[in-house]
Each structure stands twice: as structure tokens, then as C-alpha cells.
Amino acid sequence: MKPADIKNVEIRDEFWSRKQALVRKEVIPYQWEILNDRIPEAEASYCMHNFKAAGILNEKMRKKGDAFEAPRFTYRGFAVFPEKREDAKEDEFYGFVFQDSDFYKWIEAVGYALMTGPDPVLEETADRAIDIVCAAQLPNGYIDTYYIINGMDKSFSDLRDHHELYCLGHLIEGAVSYYQATGKDKLLNAAEKYADYVASLFGTGEGKINGYPGHEIAEMALFALYDLTGEEKYKNLAEYFINERGKAPNYFEKEHPDMKGKPDYYHQAHIPVREQTEAVGHAVRAVYLYSGMADMARLTGDKDLLNACERLFDSIVNTKMYITGGIGATHLGESFSLPYDLPNDTAYSETCAAIGLVFFAERMLRIKADSKYSDVMELALFNTVLSGMALDGKSFFYVNPLEVIPENCKKDERKTHVKPVRQKWFGCACCPPNIARLITSLGRYIYTEDENTLYAHLYVGSDTAKTVNGRPVSVSMESGFPNNGNVKIAVSGAAGSGFRLALRIPGWTCGSYRLNVNGASEKEIKDGYIYIEDFAEDAVIDISFDMIPRLMAADSRVAEDNLKVAVTRGPIVYCMEEADNGDKLRQIKLDRNVSFTEEMTGEFGYDVVTLRTDAKRIVRTVTSAKPFGELYGEFASFEEKEISLRLIPYYLWANRGENEMSVYINI
């Protein structure tokens, strides 16, 4: 299977069109200002500064030829920032070693945005930016501003930490998107040139660098480049990277001898990928790797690799995923923690990791339509991914906790990674541009297709078309998600073509839905999909998925969540906020036979379903016996106060200022 061509899916959806417009109108222009350090109150990026500095060096080199003295490598750290923005020197590198990737993600989002409609001003800005970026590329194809500026003699000497191959991956993804949108190939040529250069250096042969990316992404990007160009060399390079990872001795030990003998879980290089069973290490790295592995399994039919992908997906979903679709529970190494260790208030749950989980799930769907993948894709998308961005598109979460007491995050060093309000930008700004590229490319996640069948994984109002046995079939979907579960799909032109439509039954319905097929017949239900075929010339399918509030309880091994529940409704996870319910949210308790009233509100700028229920606020009372002072007293009773509890979608939290929040509620 392949995803439906994004240019062939036109989204016109109440909910998602708004989010896409927000990214187009607010996030992309804002990020461009950020990349150019023109937002004084946000952390500086130095991204375009670095490309310009590398371009200046390049120019000098071109003019002076052999007489040019290239800089010798000076280690300037993994993240270099000047004291003050004004102190930045024109020809020095600043920011994180992977700062180039911020531009690549931005241009990728620009490409997708241009696919949804023309914007000559944005395109002109992008073209000029591409000129700046390409001017930084060395004649041999190398492009990574950290080394170009700090000295090329050490390039590719620290694959573990220095992200040159990560930047290659993002460059490819950005270039492919921009080329597909505009037909302009300047950046694509630059990406191919860099990929060719890397391919000439890496491999198992004599004199080759026998390494692979310290931060995965090049793998899936190279498969995308192969997909676009049909050039086997890119597929081969991606396969080489995947096959080498985890072989003993670990390549990174050559660069970092202190690693000797220690299993390298962090980079998923502890054992060969086909043997891996548990999702471990840095969460973003992991899911980017698994996405590349799934691409390879699909393209090569490698069963062992596919089995590993399935095991790793199950390991995440069954033992290491928050109910919000967030992954990577610990800030220590931004990593997966032990199975079932899912703390709410110290959660890391990086936005990029949830995005990577969407990538992984979508790639598994290309192999097999199974709702276990699309359910997770939808969950991560509606909850953790969207939580990463404020309603106005101007501030972002990197970390997505499930419980916040603002004072504690500010003062407790174990929680300083948790921010109680979204930030304008981050020195390490991986997440915001990642959200932008995912939301603008949503058209890629709704459907996959094979020869005859269109598989609908997400319910998003959209139009698409598919040619089956020479007959053009058009499919038009209306969707009430996430407010209601009503979906109407009109199919025309399919009579006699052999066209099939497979519709996902979301897991959260627990089988409760009504289907009405007019002008086609329902054939079977398999792996969570309803298969419909025998289409007349015009057919209409109405489905109503019941979206009822549900109480969700975690496995008892998730120690944090014992005696607590989370509330979901359809794909949305709910939370309680101080703004509606007062502080000390941990005092709130639900009745076991709780029932919720749905209330539609316009408070957040569009129609949102909030939930209301009677609940109790429980405060302890103590006797006068206080043997140790004020902190403890002999328990007397629990005083129960009736309250009216309001829940809002988790992704909307912290849009009304700094306040307490909790997803889990005592019961």
C-alpha cells in the first residue's frame, strides 16, 4: 500500500482546516521570523544566520581557491549561544549542532502548505531562503553549517552526537516536499548531492565509514527520496544504515571509547534491529528508526524486520504510551522508561516523539490496514500533537505532562523540564516546526491505497479521487470529528470498476456504531475495517460512530494511575483545569457511576465539546492531635463537598493562562 497522494486529497474539514490555516497564516510566518532571529522576546535560533555564515566562507573559498585557508576544527560545543544576541559574530556558528534542521522542517511545512493553495509571497520567501541555504553547500555536496564553519577536518567524526546525518534526513524531507509542491528542484538537487556524497563515504567496504546516524531519520527520508526519484542508491543507503545499527562492536564505541561494553539502548544500537523487542532509549530517535524499518520491511518484504516492527509497536502501545498518545516518559535522555513507568507530573512526552509515533503508525498502515495502528495515530494526533501548539499558533509545548502544578514545575528541579505554559520558542526548537510539517501534511494520513482499495484511516472532511481499472472514482467525505461521530462518504464513478472502500471502526467505539450503505454492499469486517464493495455509479455511506464519554483506567502496573481514571470521548482525552475547577485538583473525586453532560462552548474560538459532571472535592480533617507540628495530624474524617466538575479537551489546556491541570481523576 501507499499513502494517497497528498496533492490529491483536498481537506475541507471544520476542525482540521482551521488548524491547517493556523499553521499557514500564523505558524509558518512566525517561524520564518524566528529562524531569522527577528522576535526579540523569543529564544534566538541562528538558523539562517548559520547558513549565511557558511555561505560567506564558501564564497571566500571560491574566490581564493587554493590560497584559502579553511578553518581547522574547533570544538565549540553541542549548543553554542552568544551572551547576547548583539554579540553574535557574522562568521560563527550558533545554536545546537542540528540547527540547520529547523529550516529544513520549515521548508517542508511550506511545501505542504503550498500544495493546499498558492501563496506567491511565501513561495518567493522560500525561494530566496533556498538560495541562502544552497550557497552554503560545499562543491562536493556536503552541507552542515556546524562543520563548514567550525572546520571540515572533523566532519563525520562524531556520528553519535553531531547530527550531520539527521540534518541530511531533514534536508531530504524538506526538499522532496518543496519539489512536489512547486516543481522547483534547486533544494532537491542539493539534497541529492549531499545524499550522493554521504553514499560515497559510508558503507562496509575498504576505506568507508562503517557508521550510521546517531539520531535516526535519514533512513525514512532516503526511502522517500527513493520513492520520488526511483534511484536504488538511496534505498541501498537507507538499508545499509538500518542493517548496520546494533551490530557488534557498536560503531559509536570507536568515536567514544568510554561506551565500551555498555549496551547502547539510547541510540537503539544495543542489538541488531531485527532482534529488538522493547522500545528503548531516546523516544524520538526510536520512533524515527522504527518508521524507517517499517519502510524497509514494506519495500523489501523482509519478514524478520516486519516482525521486529510489530513487536516494537506493541511494546510502545501496551507498556509505554500515555493515554494521550505521548511517549518517552522520562526527561533523563528524553527516553522511554521501564514498561508501565508513566509518571504524570514528571512526564516528558515530547511533542516530536508523538509526531514520530504518528509516522510509525502510518508506515505500519502502509503494510497492513489494522485499526490498532490507525487508533494510535489518531490518538497521538488529536491529543499530544495538538497540545504542542497554542490556540493562536504562537507558543508551543516541548514537554506534554499529564499533570501540572505550576509552582512545583518552577521550583522543583526534577520538574524544570515541565513548563506550565507554552513557550514562544526553544533554543532546541525541534518540536514547533515538526508540528507545522505534520499538520500541513495531514492529507497524507487520511487514506492509504492499493490497486483497488481505498482505506480510510482518519475521518477528515476531504475530497479525493482514485483510478481503478481505468475508471476515475471520486470520494467525498464529510466528518463531524471530533465533536460528533457522524461521517458521510459519497462515492461516484465506481460502478463495475472493482473499487473497494475500507473504513476504520475506531477502537473507542467499542463496536457501537450504525452503518447505512446505499448503492454498495458491506462485505466483511477485518482487522477493525469495514470493507465495502459492489458500488453502483453513485453511492452514499453514512456511519455514526458513538462518541460517548468513557472512563479509562490504566493497567494496575502503572502505579501512578491506581484508583484514578481518565475521561475520553471519541478520539479526545479530557482533563480538568484550575481555570474551571479551582486549584488542588488532586482533591477531586468522581463518583463510580458518574454521568457526563456534554456542553458545546465557543470559548476557545470554535465549537468544542466540554464535559460536566457532579463530583466531590474531598478535604481531610484532623483531630487536635498533632504530635509532629502542623504538617501531620491524626486523621478524623474526609469532608466531602459537592462540586460541578468541568472537563476540557487535553489539547486545549494552558490556553487560559498558567494554572493547574490533571488528566487523571480520583475515583
Which parts of 79-98 interact with ligand FUB (CB under 6 A)? Answer: 98
Binding mask 211-240 for ligand FUB (x = CB under 6 A): ----x-------------------------
Q: Report the alpha-carbon distance of residue 2 to residue 362 in Å, rounded.
A: 10
Q: Report the alpha-carbon distance of residue 85 to residue 102 in Å, rounded.
A: 18
Q: Which amino acid is at 635?
A: F
Beta carbon nearer to ligand FUB, 160 or 646: 160
The reply to whether 149 sits near ligand FUB by the rule CB under 6 A is: no
Beta carbon nearer to Zn ion, 388 or 528: 388
Q: Report the alpha-carbon distance of residue 154 to residue 285 in Å, rounded.
A: 23
Beta carbon nearer to ligand FUB, 98 or 147: 98
Identify the CA nearest to 285 among candidates 354, 223, 353, 225: 353
Beta carbon nearer to ligand FUB, 193 or 320: 320
Look at residue 22 and give the partner it binds from ligand FUB, Zn ion, none, a contact being a CB closer than 5 to 8 Å depending on partner kind: none
Q: What's the closest the beta carbon of residue 436 comes to ligand FUB, in angstroms?
A: 15
Q: What's the closest the beta carbon of residue 432 comes to Zn ion, in angstroms?
A: 8
Which residue blocks in 137-213 are alpha helix, DSSP H?
145-150, 164-182, 186-201
Residue 294 contacts residue 321 (beta carbons within 8 Å):
no
> Using CB under 6 A, which of 148, 188, 284, 316 touches ligand FUB?
284
- Helix (H) / strand (E) containing 598: strand 597-601
The reply to whether 103 sits near ligand FUB by the rule CB under 6 A is: no
Which parts of 420-449 interact with Zn ion (CB under 5 A)? Answer: 430-431
Q: Which amino acid is at 295?
A: D
Beta carbon nearer to ligand FUB, 226 or 398: 398
The CA–CA distances, whole Å, from 227 to 162, 175, 212, 219, 507 equal 27, 13, 21, 12, 32
Look at residue 334 and give the partner it binds from Zn ion, ligand FUB, none, a contact being a CB closer than 5 to 8 Å depending on partner kind: ligand FUB
Q: Which amino acid is at 118?
A: P
Q: Report the alpha-carbon distance of residue 18 to residue 296 in Å, rounded.
A: 35
Q: Which residue is nearest to ligand FUB (CB)?
A: 284
Q: Which three cell numbers stand for residue 78?
A: 553541542
Q: What's the closest the beta carbon of residue 329 comes to Zn ion, in angstroms?
A: 15
Interface stretch with Zn ion, choices 119-127, 155-163, 164-172, 349-357 (CB under 5 A): 349-357
Q: What angle do CA 402, 403, 407 make, to 5 degrees?
A: 145
Beta carbon nearer to Zn ion, 428 or 553: 428
DSSP single-letter state for residue 469: T
Q: Report the alpha-carbon distance of residue 483 to residue 609 in Å, rounded.
A: 6
Q: Report the alpha-carbon distance of residue 532 to residue 523 in Å, rounded.
A: 6
Binding mask 318-357 for ligand FUB (x = CB under 6 A): ----------------x---------------x-x-----
> Using CB under 5 A, which of 352, 475, 491, 652 touches Zn ion?
352
The reply to whether 428 sits near ligand FUB by the rule CB under 6 A is: yes
- Helix (H) / strand (E) containing 29: helix 28-35
Beta carbon nearer to Zn ion, 286 or 647: 286
Identify the CA nearest to 2 among candidates 465, 355, 369: 369
Q: Which residue is nearest to Zn ion (CB)?
A: 352
The verdict on whether 134 is a catalytic residue reads no
The verdict on whether 430 is a catalytic residue reads yes
As annotated, the active-site residues are 334, 430
Residues at the interface with ligand FUB (CB under 6 A): 98, 215, 284, 334, 350, 352, 428, 430
Q: Which residues bind Zn ion (CB under 5 A)?
A: 350, 352, 430-431
